Amino acid sequence: MTRIVSFTEAEVAEPQDFGNISLYAREGDDHIVGGAIDYAHHWADFSISQPSSIELRINPGRLFAGAIVYAAEEPIDLNLQIHLPLVTGDRRYVALLLRGATRTLTAQRMIETDAETGETVEQAVPKTESRIVEVVIQQGLPSPTPLKPSVAADQCCLAFVELAPTGIVAVELDHGSRLKSLAEVEGRLTTLEGEVSNTIRRTTTLETDVANIASRLTDIPHPTIIRQLKRDVANVRRQLAMPDEARAYWYDAGLVQDAWDLTHATWLARVREGIRFPWAAERDSQLALLDPGSAALRMSGTLLLPAWEEAVRIEVPGDGGSTNISQLTHTVTTAVRREIARQVVEYGETVTVCENNAEWATSYGRSVGELFTVKGETFEVVAIAGNTEWAGHVLRAVRRIITRTVTDVYWDYVTESFGVNGSIYGQTWLCAQPMILTSIDLSFTRVGSSGDVHLFVCECDDTGQPRLDRVIVTTTLAAKDLAAGWVTFPLRPSLLESGRRYAWATVTTGNHALETVAGNRFAQGSRFTCTDGAWSQISTEVDFAMRIKAATFAAPRTVVEFAPLTLENGMTELRLLHGGWAPGGTALTWEVKPSTSNAWQPLTLADVEGGDTLAGLPALVQLRAVFVGTTDLQPAIVLDAKARGMTFRPRGEMIAVSRSQAFGLATSTIQLEVVVDAYDASRHNMQLRLVVGASILSPSAVSLTPDLVNPKKRTVLATFILGAPVTEARARVDMTTTTVTDVPFIQNIALYAL
């Protein structure tokens, strides 16, 4: 109290003087409450009891509203009957709000009415002014899962009451609006002071530890270096073909499907030298001639060549000598014919070379099975490590075109085995110039009444030994087709390379004899005989009489038209897969002409760069092949059931999900690093995800590093901070494009558990 009222003995006091006594006392209380406590809309001392299922009793307490204190001196009874929800199963919250009010009480007093006579009259006059507390009920909405009503900032909530149709369910005091006493605050402050003291002591120790750590930071490699090491180690593990075990890192070059879950419910991608957009439409048809009867062509079975005639390249005339070619012990021999190797040409707006093709070296020959197969065909890689002559395949690529050619004319991936019985005689020769072998003439001096003659043409190894497991071409003549003198064995045209040795061998059980020539008249080869499937003896003095015939061509350049390629709603890419050869000095060039163009577009590395032949999504493309060579040598195409013309158009979205990768440890921080190529931020969008169980997680942070050489190539690193440690996870990449003629692809991907 800052003010008091004073009286003297002879003073005539005024009524206001007595009123000021109470006003000054209240004013002092307000100053103390407002200056020292000053809680805005808080309650103290209240408690609640429940006399019945629908009634509450609020026991006496205080309401503090700034500097003013309101008091409830008597219990307040509330009946909540009208607030109960009406629908069975519903609940409702009501808030009990405390509000301050001022109440004035009157009392009967004698009032003087006449100053001279002193007459008085009894009247009711204001006597007591009280600050009281009133309770207001604010109800929420009824619901099976009700929400508490929101309370305004200038209101004081005493409690929330949960109601059901049968009555009161629960009462929750709002302790956030309860005024804390000084004793309570003192207790909390004492606890805080103790914690602060402990914190100061620990901080002092931490400062020393941090200083020691700071002095050793230069000894710790940068996280980027560790990530690079993990990526390199993962790559080396693939190259060394180490057993699959749980590792805290994983890397995939996107060449084969082994690391990807193609059966996942969200999978929407394809794997072909990178992780690429799936096809929205594709068509696979057999390559077919537009005019099979053209005089400019000549088909030999399934082998297509420009029109040719035969000419003798090597001739060894006989001198009257003779050798029985069935006099040796008859043995069962298995000959293996190798098939003509294949070529793949890919062209279109969505054809982009992936720089990870160099990593085919880690796949041990699987590139052939991934790139040169027809649908449903499976290649098994056998003994490739020992076949030093097989040099793999050559890849030439620029934007919009990729050509892949096997460097050997004949390969081991497609073969045919023959089991034959009889004596084996033959002759080797050196092919000094390349030729296309068409037939071999042998001179018979005696023909038996029975016994077919099987003729094989095979390669020789570096020692000159004929290899019947590397047969190029074979044919068989029945005994009735044989006669004394020169007999022609027609062969499917076969390319023989210069500087290599070849051999022909006959296998028969018939009583036949071939003419020979003595005196080593043919110095470029040797006659041989085989027993038990092995080369057992050669003759340096006697050779077989023979004529080696090869093709001669009428024109050095021939244009061959094929049936057009089509795709409903248009194509962005085409692929040509076929067997054949194009030896040095010759060229086989495919040309296309879309229905929207009048010009033929050669599919060569030089001609397609910058072209946009398929940019308009043509639904039909005319196709032709241009054979360029010499009169002695021409390219060839194998038009069998595996010669295919394929057309494609990609989708506008892609989702790639890896197989689950086990880390061998529990971690809550995982990084996903993706190298993406052909990326244009104005057209493309990429999102990196992590799949843990059934949850698909978004990254906590993403960083992007542009490539210094290729402006459309970049490395994206996503960091995932998990709520709980995990021991395995899947990588997921989502990409979209605004135009199907321009699609990005994933070059390689890595996952790191930190």
Q: Is a pLDDT exceeding 60 seen at residue 382?
A: no
Residue 3 to residue 236: CA distance in whole angstroms? 92
pTM summary value: 0.64
**Structural contact between residues 54 and 171, judged by C-beta atoms closer than 8 angstroms:** no
For strand 513-517 and strand 321-324, is the pairing parallel, antiparallel, or unpaired?
antiparallel
**Which is more confident, 515 or 524?**
515
Here the tokens at position 49 are 């009891």
**Structural contact between residues 384 and 390, judged by C-beta atoms closer than 8 angstroms:** yes
Length of the chain: 754
Residue 100 to residue 198: CA distance in whole angstroms? 44
The continuous run of DSSP H or E covering 79 comes out as: strand 76-79
Q: Is a pLDDT exceeding 50 seen at residue 367?
A: no
Q: What pLDDT does residue 373 have?
A: 52
Here the tokens at position 528 are 């041989």
Q: Which residue has the tokens 């890595």?
A: 750
Q: What percent of the chain has a predicted confidence (pLDDT) above 90?
A: 54
Residue 369 to residue 669: CA distance in whole angstroms? 38
Here the tokens at position 485 are 């003198």
Amino acid at 658: S
Using 50, 70 and 90 to split pLDDT, how confident is the model at 709? confident
Q: What percent of the chain has a predicted confidence (pLDDT) above 70?
A: 86
* Vertex 317: Cα angle to 313 and 323 (nearest 5): 120
Residue 429 to residue 436: CA distance in whole angstroms? 15
Q: Which residue has the tokens 């023989």?
A: 496
Closest CA to 677 of 276, 104, 125: 276
Q: What pLDDT does residue 495 have?
A: 93
Residues 6+ apart with CB under 8 A from 141: 92, 147
Helix (H/G/I), strand (E/B), else coil: 239? helix
**pLDDT tens, position by position, 178-192:** 998 888 889 999 999
Average pLDDT over residues 733-745: 95
Using 50, 70 and 90 to split pLDDT, how confident is the model at 399? very low
Residue 569 to residue 567: CA distance in whole angstroms? 6
How many Å separate Cα 237 from the centre of its chain? 20
Average pLDDT over residues 561-573: 94
For strand 303-306 and strand 636-638, is the pairing parallel, antiparallel, or unpaired?
antiparallel
Q: What pLDDT does residue 164 have?
A: 95
How many Å separate Cα 107 from the centre of its chain? 90
Using 50, 70 and 90 to split pLDDT, how confident is the model at 390? very low
**Structural contact between residues 56 and 78, judged by C-beta atoms closer than 8 angstroms:** yes
Here the tokens at position 510 are 């018939």
CA-CA distances (angstroms) from residue 597 to 2, 99, 573, 621, 647? Answer: 104, 86, 16, 9, 18
Q: What pLDDT does residue 66 have?
A: 86
Residue 515 to residue 445: CA distance in whole angstroms? 6
Q: What is the DSSP letter of 83?
A: G
Here the tokens at position 436 are 């296309």
How many Å separate Cα 105 from the centre of its chain? 83
**Structural contact between residues 252 and 611, judged by C-beta atoms closer than 8 angstroms:** no
Beta bridge partners of 321: 516
Closest CA to 101 of 126, 78, 133: 133
Q: Which residue has the tokens 């000084």?
A: 182
**Which is more confident, 188 or 382?**
188
Q: Is a pLDDT exceeding 50 seen at residue 687?
A: yes
Residue 305 to residue 303: CA distance in whole angstroms? 7
Q: What is the DSSP letter of 40?
A: S
Helix (H/G/I), strand (E/B), else coil: 329? coil
**Structural contact between residues 60 and 43, judged by C-beta atoms closer than 8 angstroms:** no
Q: Is a pLDDT exceeding 90 seen at residue 410?
A: no
Here the tokens at position 222 are 């940068």
Average pLDDT, rounded, for the chain: 85
Residues 6+ apart with CB under 8 A from 332: 419, 420, 421
Residue 483 to residue 659: CA distance in whole angstroms? 67
Ramachandran assignment for 264, one of left (phi > 0), alpha (psi -120 to 50 degrees), beta (any other): beta
Using 50, 70 and 90 to split pLDDT, how confident is the model at 387? very low
Q: Is a pLDDT exceeding 90 seen at residue 244?
A: no
Average pLDDT over residues 98-111: 89
Q: What pLDDT does residue 232 have?
A: 79
**pLDDT tens, position by position, 145-178:** 999 999 998 999 999 999 999 999 999 999 989 9
**pLDDT tens, position by position, 646-667:** 999 999 999 999 999 999 899 9
Domain boundaries, the chain: 39-179, 183-217, 229-276+653-753, 280-302+553-650
Q: What is the DSSP letter of 289?
A: B
Q: What pLDDT does residue 260 have?
A: 94
Q: Domain spanning 229-276+653-753 has what CATH number?
A: 2.60.120
Q: What pLDDT does residue 32 have?
A: 82
Closest CA to 584 of 716, 445, 409, 416: 409
Q: Is a pLDDT exceeding 50 seen at residue 107?
A: yes
Q: What pLDDT does residue 530 have?
A: 81
**pLDDT tens, position by position, 418-475:** 566 778 899 999 999 999 999 999 999 999 999 899 999 999 988 888 888 888 999 9
Q: What pLDDT does residue 309 have?
A: 96
Neighbours of 51 (CB within 10 A): 10
Q: Is a pLDDT exceeding 60 seen at residue 504?
A: yes
Q: What pLDDT does residue 683 have?
A: 94
Mean pLDDT highest for which of 31-35, 217-221, 472-476?
472-476
Using 50, 70 and 90 to split pLDDT, how confident is the model at 63? very high
Q: What pLDDT does residue 109 have?
A: 86
Residue 40 to residue 431: CA distance in whole angstroms? 108
Closest CA to 375 of 646, 654, 648: 646
- The beta strands (E) that lie in 317-355 are given as 321-324, 331-340, 342-348
Average pLDDT over residues 308-329: 89
Residue 316 to residue 311: CA distance in whole angstroms? 14
Q: What pLDDT does residue 648 have?
A: 94
**Structural contact between residues 281 and 649, judged by C-beta atoms closer than 8 angstroms:** yes
